[in-house]
Amino acid sequence: MTKKQQFLSEHNRLSPRDLRSTLAVLSRFRTEKASLFKDEDWSIDKLRRPFILWLTSLPLEERELSDAEPESKRGWHDYGRPSPRQIT
């Protein structure tokens, strides 16, 4: 697992659903906030707060997870809400 994937996994583990992210969004953050990166370090302590502030500044449609994106790239699995048929 790369440092970027570790950051994503930890961020998504700590975050509510509306703040979870993807590798594609992290790549965009890395590009737009290059001054925060001195090397390839993805320190959760250093970058999580700036990432959340940046993420919440995006329009909702730009930060929503794509349903077409495979779970392996999301860094988390959405089991969803069970349908009434599944409950009975």
pTM: 0.69
Mean pLDDT score across all residues of the chain = 81
Percent of the chain exceeding pLDDT 70 equals 70
Residue 81 has pLDDT above 60, yes or no: no
Q: Are 30 and 37 in contact (CB under 8 A)?
A: yes
Lookup: tokens for 25:
């969004």
Side-chain half-sphere CA neighbours of 83 within 13 A:
2
CA distance 44 to 28: 17
Q: Are 54 and 32 in contact (CB under 8 A)?
A: yes
pLDDT (average), residues 36-42: 89
Poorest-pLDDT segment among 7-21, 30-44, 59-73: 59-73
Residue 73 has pLDDT above 90, yes or no: no
CA distance 21 to 76: 9
Residue 39 DSSP class? S
